[in-house]
Amino acid sequence: MKAIVLEAADKPLVLKEVDNPGLAPGEALVKIKAAALNRRDYWITIGKYAGIKYPTILGSDGAGIVEAVGGDTDRHLIGTEVIINPGSGWGDDQNFQSDDFKILGLPADGTFAEYVKVEVQQLHTRPAHLSWEQAAAVPLAGLTVFRALFTKGKIKKGDKVLITGVGSGTGLFALQFALAAGCQVFATTGSGEKMERAKKLGAAAAVNYKSQDWAEQLLHLAGGFDVIIDSALGDGFAKLPDLCNPGGRIVIFGGTAGNIPALNGRKIFWCQLQVIGTMMGSPDDFKAMVAFVNEHQIVPVIDAVFPLADAAEAISKMEHSSQFGKIVLKP
Ligand SMILES: NC(=O)c1ccc[n+]([C@@H]2O[C@H](COP(=O)([O-])OP(=O)(O)OC[C@H]3O[C@@H](n4cnc5c(N)ncnc54)[C@H](OP(=O)(O)O)[C@@H]3O)[C@@H](O)[C@H]2O)c1
């Protein structure tokens, strides 16, 4: 099969012929109809991700058709249209993943290929209202944001929610999911055009995080927030506690803009705020996320679709955050 292989730190990504993976009982081979990018693919290609190994087939998100299974028990799955939970080995505790937790596209070989091998428990029926490209965009970002908003952030109808960097793959799912849950959603983003696009999608207001006074603008527009979903961290993070209502929750799962700066700790304890870390999600979160996507007929925002061979060009779009939504690859 053809696959996008990361061969070494200083080598460009190449599309090359590799062996089809063999299957053990409990495993399935999925013929990929579409795959999608996450920022981790970019971090891995620039060497900024833990545990990088060579060679690796990148890609955590995929949708396709089950072509083969290991053993006889799962033969009924052959021919089914699926999306793939990129995480496996979560373990028994809903609160955090086990040491055996693995993600497709490092360390397991990923979806930027004609076929991918996964465990059958990772397979979920493709939402019928989504095209292959849209279905492939859902798994990792949808899962992470679903857990961030509901399992950890405990959003409820009427809450005021802030999404930072809303143009990201995760940010737009956060906007769509929080709106579907009946929240009033505000956003930060990096350009005037993206501010307008976020408002068209239902954001009550959007401000540019590059303005000096973005936090003051938000306070003026919204008053304060019950839940903030942040995957940027960086200098801007220092202002987030000041934007929270008493008892507010800031849920974090990424650090696109750097690390956490010095914080006003007094604000955090006096207002009984919580800063909560989250990481992808459990199989239960994934199942609930897919049900939510079906129930609310969520349609992911696709920024662009590239042929698989152009994966390097697609990933380079993330360098300057020029995308608005998910970037998709088609084998
Ligand atoms: N731990 C986990 O389970 C998990 C899961 C998914 C993602 N992540 C992490 O979460 C982050 C987002 O992932 P993604 O795949 O959605 O990324 P992405 O699609 O590449 O989006 C990155 C976005 O970051 C935003 N951004 C850049 N500088 C910013 C700043 N100073 N302040 C606020 N926002 C800024 C931009 O938003 P605008 O376009 O609006 O300007 C950009 O679109 C990444 O760091 C990723 O590694 C972690």
Ligand 1 centroid–CA 170 distance in Å is 7
Do the Cβ atoms of 137 and 323 come closer than 8 Å? Answer: no
Do the Cβ atoms of 112 and 4 come closer than 8 Å? Answer: yes
Nearest CA to ligand 1 atom 18: 168
Nearest Cα neighbor of 163 from 219, 203, 214 is 203
Per-residue pLDDT of the chain (331 residues; tens, 9 = 90+): 999 999 988 888 989 999 999 999 999 999 999 999 999 999 999 999 999 999 999 999 999 999 999 989 999 999 999 999 999 999 999 999 999 999 999 999 999 999 999 999 999 999 999 999 999 999 999 999 999 999 999 999 999 999 999 999 999 999 999 999 999 999 999 999 999 999 999 999 999 999 999 999 999 999 999 999 999 999 999 999 999 999 999 999 999 999 999 999 999 999 999 999 999 999 999 999 999 999 999 999 999 999 999 999 999 999 988 999 999 999 9
Token pair, residue 142, equals: 């949808």
Ligand 1 centroid–CA 254 distance in Å is 7
Do the Cβ atoms of 252 and 277 come closer than 8 Å? Answer: yes
Tell which atom from ligand 1 comes closest to the C-alpha of 189: 40
Residue with tokens 């709106």: 179
Domain boundaries, the chain: 2-138+300-330, 142-277
Ligand 1 centroid–CA 199 distance in Å is 19
What would the CATH number be for the domain defined by 2-138+300-330?
3.90.180.10
One-letter amino acid of 286? F
- Mutation choice for ligand 1 from 145, 168, 211, 327, CB with most ligand atoms inside 8 A: 168
Distance between CA atoms of 220 and 216, rounded to whole angstroms?
6
Do the Cβ atoms of 85 and 135 come closer than 8 Å? Answer: no
The angle formed by the CA atoms of residues 176, 85 and 287, to the nearest 5 degrees, is 65
Token pair, residue 290, equals: 């897919």
Nearest Cα neighbor of 132 from 63, 231, 201, 41 is 63
Residue 138: how many other CB atoms lie within 10 Å: 28
This prediction has a pTM of: 0.98
Token pair, residue 186, equals: 């505000």
Token pair, residue 117, equals: 């091998």
Ligand 1 centroid–CA 142 distance in Å is 13
Do the Cβ atoms of 243 and 225 come closer than 8 Å? Answer: yes
Q: Under 8 Å CB-to-CB from 189, ≥6 apart: which residues?
A: 165, 166, 167, 171, 195, 198, 206, 207, 208, 209
Bridge-partner residues for 35, per DSSP? 62, 329
Nearest Cα neighbor of 181 from 208, 151, 207, 216 is 151
The alpha-helical segments, DSSP class H, found in the chain are 39-45, 132-137, 139-146, 169-180, 192-200, 214-222, 240-243, 265-270, 283-295, 311-316
Query: Helix %, strand %, coil % for the chain, to 5?
Result: 30, 30, 40
Do the Cβ atoms of 312 and 18 come closer than 8 Å? Answer: no
Nearest Cα neighbor of 23 from 61, 60, 62, 78 is 78
Question: If residue 168 lies in a helix (H) or strand (E), which one and from where to where?
Answer: none
Question: If residue 253 lies in a helix (H) or strand (E), which one and from where to where?
Answer: none
Tell which atom from ligand 1 comes closest to the C-alpha of 279: 3
Nearest CA to ligand 1 atom 22: 168
User: What is the structure's pLDDT at 66?
Assistant: 98
CATH class given for the domain over 142-277: alpha beta
